[in-house]
Amino acid sequence: MQGQRPTLDAVAAHAGVGRGTVSRVINGSPRVSTKARAAVMQAIDELHYVPNNLARALVRRRTDTVALVMAVSEDRVWDEPYFSYLVRGIKAGLADTGLQLLLAIAQSEQEHEQLTHYLTAQHVDGVLLTSLHGEDPLPGRLEDIGVPTVVIGAPTGFDPTYCVDVDNHLAARCAVTHLVDRGRRRIATIAGPQDMRAGVQRLEGFHDALADAQMTSSLVAHGDFTAASGARAMEELLLLDPGVDAVFAASDSMAFGAMRVLREKGRRVPEDVAVVGFDDSPIALQTDPPLSSVKQPLEEMGQEMARLLVARISGEPVPQPVVIFQPHLVVRESS
């Protein structure tokens, strides 16, 4: 049809060769005879065929694109430092690889289904996953069809082969042990979601640290790592025990929300209630007083995710596919 862009098949027919031969010529492969190469180049010239990036990607079965999938709301992606530091690390890790980073946000079931279809249709070379919850089928589906995948953390219902994480259990034990050493005895926690491995492990670390000190606590409230959920959880804890004297929050954002409620209720930090958060994000320096927090090196973790994914895409051997970073507690005035 006049005006229609010539296709790879049209070039092959015009040159009297197979489609694969045309693909090899376009991509500079040496596995083409001089005669066939000349015929293809003549056909390209006569048909005014212009190879596009998508066609070349399909020939190479590469798109030079990887996706970072965040299963959270768009507001959280832009508001919480966790995601910006992670993205910064991933971009640094991809800097010299020629791979472009695609950010994908999906929270609703419809968004999730659309994204799953996109990722499993060979639109990307690999996928990085974060903030997944327990029954999310996406990581298993990607692995089943052979899409290279790396997870940071993990949902409770999936055991990833390639994963980057921080030692959440040890991190929580360090935070709670610090509170015990400060003489606190009515210690509460604002735990993360229990369908995420981080939420489960940080809660287990809380209980184990108290057991080490021959203490127990039923002062547990749950949040979703946001400031609003931390505020709600703190109100719940004060109803359970108005005399609570310390709180370990499983994220800095939840600690921030908790401290706001404590201030509204007339509780002084740290004199009445000591508070420790998790992430050592910029939020920790913006609270009043500055927040003690467990540091997880998110930029380094993002770089490690990128390194693992590039290795998987390239087919390189990976002797250590699960990388666990060690946390450390940064003590400030809140505790």
User: What band does 192 get if pLDDT is binned at 50, 70 and 90?
Assistant: very high
Beta strands in 168-319 (DSSP E): 187-191, 220-222, 246-249, 274-279, 292-295
User: φ and ψ at 88, to 5 degrees?
Assistant: -60, -45
Helix (H) / strand (E) element for 242: namely none
Nearest to 305 by CA among 114, 160, 107: 160
Helix (H, G, I), strand (E, B) or coil at 91: helix
- Give me the pLDDT at residue 2, please: 46
pLDDT of residue 1: 41
Query: Which of 325, 327, 305 has its CA nearest to residue 162?
Result: 305
- For 228-238, the pLDDT digits (tens) are 999 999 999 99
Span 246-273, average pLDDT: 97
Query: Half-sphere exposure of residue 22, counting CA atoms within 13 Å on the CB side?
Result: 25
Statement: residue 77 has pLDDT above 80 = no
Angle at which helix 34-47 crosses helix 8-15, to 10 degrees, equals 120
156-170, 180-194, 255-269 — which is least confidently predicted?
A: 156-170
Give yes or no for residue 256 having a pLDDT over 90.
Answer: yes
Token readout for 204 is 């287990």
State yes or no: pLDDT of 323 exceeds 50. Answer: yes
> What's the pLDDT score for residue 66?
93
- Asked if 335 contacts 176 with a C-beta cutoff of 8 angstroms, the reply is no
Residues 6+ apart with CB under 8 A from 103: 67, 68, 70, 77, 87
CB atoms within 10 A of CB 38: 13
**Gap between the Cα atoms of 10 and 51, Å rounded:** 12
pLDDT in tens, 47-65: 887 665 445 454 446 678 8
Q: Sign of the C-alpha dihedral, residues 185, 188, 194, 197?
A: negative
Q: What is the spatial distance between Cα 325 and Cα 311, in angstroms, rounded to a whole number?
A: 19
Helices (H) and strands (E) in the chain, counts: 14, 12
pLDDT of 59: 47
- Confidence at residue 250, expressed as pLDDT on a 0 to 100 scale: 98
d(CA 297, CA 175): 16
Which segment, 91-100, 117-126, 258-267, is predicted with the most confidence on average? 258-267
Instruction: Read off the pLDDT band of 141 (50, 70, 90).
Output: confident
Average pLDDT over residues 176-201: 96
Domains and CATH numbers, the chain: 8-60 (1.10.260.40), 65-166+299-327 (3.40.50.2300), 168-296 (3.40.50.2300)
Of 53-62, 147-156, 216-225, where does the model show the most confidence?
216-225
Tokens 């004060």, located at residue: 238
The whole-angstrom separation of Cα 232 and Cα 261 is 8
Cα 214 from Cα 191, distance rounded (Å) = 21
Q: Where is average pLDDT lowest: 60-64, 160-164, 247-251?
A: 60-64
Contact 149, 305 (CB under 8 A): no
Which has more pLDDT, 158 or 39? 39
Supply the mean pLDDT for the chain: 88
**pLDDT grade for 67, boundaries at 50, 70 and 90:** very high
Tokens of 220: 């547990």
Among residues of the chain, what percentage have pLDDT more than 70?
92
E strands, 48-105, are 65-70, 100-105
Interval 306-329 mean pLDDT? 92
Q: Which residue has the tokens 């500055």?
A: 290
Higher pLDDT, 264 or 112: 264
Percent of the chain with pLDDT over 90: 59
Task: Find the range with the poorest average confidence among 129-133, 191-195, 306-310.
Answer: 129-133
225-287-278 Cα angle (round to 5) = 35
* pLDDT score recorded for residue 135: 75
| pTM exceeds 0.85, yes or no | no
**Which residues does 268 contact at the CB level (< 8 Å), separation at least 6?**
262
**Above 80 in pLDDT, residue 93?**
yes
On whether the CB atoms of residues 236 and 221 are closer than 8 A, the answer is yes
Calculate the dihedral angle through the C-alpha atoms of 321, 200, 289, 265, rounding to the nearest 10 degrees: 160
CA separation for the pair 151, 158 (Å, rounded): 10
4 token code pair = 């229609």
pLDDT for position 61: 60
